[in-house]
Chain A
Amino acid sequence: MRKTTARVVPVALAATLFGAAACGSGGGSGTTSDGRTVVKIALWNYKTTPEFKALIDGFEAKYPKIDVQPVDILADDYPDKVTTMLAGGDKTDVLTMKNVTDYSRYATRGQLLPLTDYVGKLSDKASYAGLDNFDIDGKYYAMPYRQDFWVLYYNKALVGNADVSHLTWDQFDTLSKQLTKGSGSSKTYGTYLHTWRSVVQAIASAQTGGDLLGGDYSWMKDQYDIALDIQKAGATLPFGTAKSQKITYDSQFTTGKAAMVPMGTWWGAALLSEKAQGKNPVDWGMAPIPQVGTDGKVTTFGSPTAFAVNKKAKNAEAAEQFVEWASGPEGAAAVAKIGIVPSYHSDSVMNTFFGVAGMPNDALSKQAMQPSKVQLEMPVSDKSSDVDQILTEEHELVMTGEKSVDDGIKEMDHRVKTEVQ
């Protein structure tokens, strides 16, 4: 008898384990126990990205029959995870589009539900900033709910009386050097240029009209010369140190180490919440990003974030309702209320944005929020990710001084032409 038990138990145990594993992947039923329709939405870092909660709460208040449930994914893993989920036929209703490149990949693979009819019916289409970027051969598969672009953040105490309202990059270079003071651990830098390649390359592309996918990158030279000049003068933390120490731009600014930091508008909400928690003593403001040209126009770069409906959504109709509400004026008001730049622009939304407690609302900050043109950070193409890899690698070599600007650009030209197919 004991023998039989010894034989049966492991087998039964194994069977149970497999059974449990099989059940685990089954998924929910689409409605809650009290009969509300469930809309699942894939998003990232729910706890530290307050806009999601603001949108979900706002939507549920308006549509009490729908229960929106977040599917929280680590921000760094988000694109890979969603790609895998979709490949496995996942039925999550709403998918957040972190950038336009991923969006175009999902859309062209036919994994998103078209929203073209809805866009066609919009009477205030022009109010949706960044919507054009989602146009794929006249069809739309996602609606942007926020539109971030780059501005110049500055520490009011450190910048003092200097005029930062319409800087050119040459003036920015000079000012950075002037604002650099002290040495050793008490040194304050005039600026902090983060290690991302966009800090140099996307700015140059937006302001000179250079094509980031083109295979000819000579238009980057001036911008690299300026970045390297600032670094050589010691007016920013050296690239190598920032990279090896994994320095965050936030710490450079909020500890008063850097007077001016070019960065995207997503940062504002983070600075506000840090201030509320007492972690950010800096009195800060926003100014338009410095310019290459001197014609008074402000050209910057950025990228929209959007919601799309999964083609295999369990509750597509409710999902569409969420996407339309979140991207429209009511969703815009909900995100503006927490200091995030919505895609949908209107005077009342902008008033809400500048009315947020702690948000700098001086004339210059308001001016900074109205650039003449926002170019997409990286053009959408099936070559984008390959080109991005090459440009990132060569950017590192130029900024660490391992290669001269000319050699770096020559190598970018060569590699993009020969390696990207």
Chain B
Amino acid sequence: MTTVPSPSVPAPVSSDRRRRRRHVLVGWSFILPNFLGFAALTLVPVVGTFVVAFTDWDSYSSPKWIGLANFRRMKDDDNFWTALQNTCWYAAGHIPLTLAASLGLAVLLNQKLRGVGLLRTAFFFPYVTSLVAVAVVWNMLLSPDVGPVNQLLRHLGWSHPPGWTTSTDWSLPALILTSVWRDMGYYMVLFLAGLQTIPAELYEAARVDGTGAWKRFWHVTLPGLRPTTFFVLIMLTISSFKVFDLVQVMTEGGPGRSSLVLSQLIFREGITHGRFGYSSAVSLALFVIVLAVTLVQFQFQRRSER
């Protein structure tokens, strides 16, 4: 962003330093408005969360320092463990399924077919659709008695199809299904971009060596996509752990607590019950979890690059 065309005439040393400083200042002046906004609206509140997590605060009276009490409370809070478990289940379903679906779509739609542009657009569509609309429509599709999905399943001979969002066992799978459908188009585009960077010569060479399609995918496509896959994996991990809107609209964490996720618990404790200290403590826990998972992924990536 701050690159400036190098001066055509070599300048004396003293003014060179001045010029460099000026360049830096110009760069800063461009970034500053955005950074101020980021600092005021994101950075300060995030840092604030870390402090609030150690207090008892209802957003009115002045916060009371209570040390680790919020974390002790979290340890004994059934809601927290339920939400953590549900979030992990959601991530365990959402990450691999979305990865597989988007990669599969990208490879399929990377071929020279008539109308491939239309298909790519079609698969990208869910991502630009309003999430609330997606959630409401899927809720209708998955409705236990009158929904088309269960009608089809009954037609295929499944006499007691799942209750989806009305069943404690099936509410998370229903959410995963919906989110995979919604997200796969976006990650497909990333993979498509990645596929363009793999040199065609590699495929040709492999073909000359007489390898089959599967082997070409395994030994050429996948290694070539490694940077993209890594990026997608990180983004998916983060988005899975902080999932909120879809759950809030589709199941509100129900039935019971069967699809309660951490972000929802944070919202509920803070905004609904006014316990901002405890809510911040849960946010901090979520932050540490996501950070740990991401670090592990980076470690793996570094090792596999060696």
Contact = CB atoms under 8 A, between A and B. Distances in A.
8 contacts: A18-B36, A84-B59, A105-B274, A109-B60, A241-B143, A243-B166, A389-B272, A402-B255
Interface in B134-186: 136, 139-140, 142-147, 163-168
B164 A244 contact: yes
A397 B273 contact: no
Nearest to A402: B168
Interface residues of B, number: 37
Nearest to B249: A246
A87 interface: yes
A278 interface: no
B256 interface: yes
A77 to B, nearest CB: 10
Nearest to B139: A244
A246 B273 CA distance: 25
Interface of B: 26, 29-30, 32-33, 36, 59-61, 77-79, 136, 139-140, 142-147, 163-168, 253-257, 268, 271-274
Contacts of B33: 10, 13-14, 17
Given A389-B268, A400-B255, A246 B29 contact: no
Given A238-B145, A385-B272, A385-B273, A244 B30 contact: no
A397 B255 contact: yes
A87 B59 contact: yes
A393 B32 contact: no
Contact of B255 (A385, A396, A419): A396
A402 B142 contact: no
A240 interface: yes
Nearest to B142: A244
A13 B166 CA distance: 52
Given A240-B166, A394-B256, A80 B271 contact: yes
Nearest to A87: B59
A10 B29 contact: yes
Nearest to A389: B268
Contacts of B77: 419
A123 interface: no
Interface residues of A, number: 36
Contacts of B140: 244-245
B143 A244 contact: yes
A13 B36 CA distance: 13
A11 interface: yes
A10 B143 CA distance: 53
Contacts of B168: 397, 402
A386 B142 contact: no
Task: Give the interface SS of chain B, mostly helix, strand, loop or mixed.
Answer: loop
B29 A11 contact: yes
Nearest to B58: A109
A245 B139 contact: yes
Interface string A78-106: 00100110110000000000000000010
Interface string A382-406: 0001100100011011001011000
Interface in A347-392: 385-386, 389
A7 interface: yes
Closest 10 CB pairs of A and B: A240-B166, A14-B33, A397-B256, A396-B255, A244-B143, A393-B256, A400-B166, A396-B254, A244-B139, A402-B168
B86 to A, nearest CB: 13
A238 B165 CA distance: 13
Nearest to B79: A419
Contact of A83 (B144, B254, B274): B274
B31 to A, nearest CB: 10
A403 B167 CA distance: 10
Contact of B26 (A7, A13, A397, A403): A7
A400 B139 contact: no
Interface of A: 6-7, 10-11, 13-14, 17-18, 80, 83-84, 86-87, 105, 109, 238-241, 243-246, 385-386, 389, 393-394, 396-397, 400, 402-403, 415, 418-419
A69 B77 CA distance: 45
Contacts of B136: 246
A231 to B, nearest CB: 12
B10 to A, nearest CB: 19
B29 A7 contact: yes
Q: In this complex, which of B142, B255, B272 has the most chain A Cβ atoms within 10 angstroms of its Cβ? A: B255
Contacts of B29: 7, 10-11
Given A240-B145, A241-B146, 11 more contacts: A84-B59, A241-B145, A244-B139, A244-B144, A245-B146, A385-B272, A389-B272, A393-B253, A400-B166, A402-B168, A419-B79
Q: In this complex, which of B26, B33, B136 has the most chain A Cβ atoms within 10 angstroms of its Cβ? A: B33
B260 to A, nearest CB: 8
A396 B30 CA distance: 53
Nearest to A397: B256
Nearest to A239: B166
Contacts of A396: 254-256
A83 to B, nearest CB: 7
Contacts of A10: 29-30, 33
A48 B145 CA distance: 33
A379 B53 CA distance: 30
Contacts of B60: 86-87, 109
A206 to B, nearest CB: 25
A240 B273 CA distance: 27
Contacts of A105: 274
Contacts of B268: 389
A403 B256 CA distance: 10
B167 A400 contact: yes
A240 B257 contact: no
B8 to A, nearest CB: 15
Contacts of A11: 29, 32
A32 to B, nearest CB: 32
A18 B36 CA distance: 10
B59 A83 contact: yes
Nearest to B257: A393
B241 to A, nearest CB: 23
Contacts of A397: 168, 255-256
